[in-house]
Amino acid sequence: MKNFTVEEINLMCCFNTSSRKRLIDDMKSVTLNDVDGEIAELMYKTVRKLESMSDAEFEELYIMPDGMVDD
């Protein structure tokens, strides 16, 4: 399973996470010229990780914004 950073998890939370395919499609639909360079790079890296994992691995992920996770 791919290790996602806190930033990548938080970014994924901005999109539909109901399935790996939906998440990838939603993230790819963003025009990278419309976002900051760092965000564009983060989106690119996150999509690459998502594309390299299976649907079963995706289903095991716990995707929740960092600020909402209890310590």
Residue type, 68: M
Instruction: Name 44's Cβ contacts closer than 8 Å, sequence gap at least 6.
Output: 32
CA dist., res. 23 & res. 19, Å (int): 6
pLDDT in tens, 10-68: 999 999 999 999 999 999 999 878 889 999 999 999 999 999 999 999 999 988 877 65
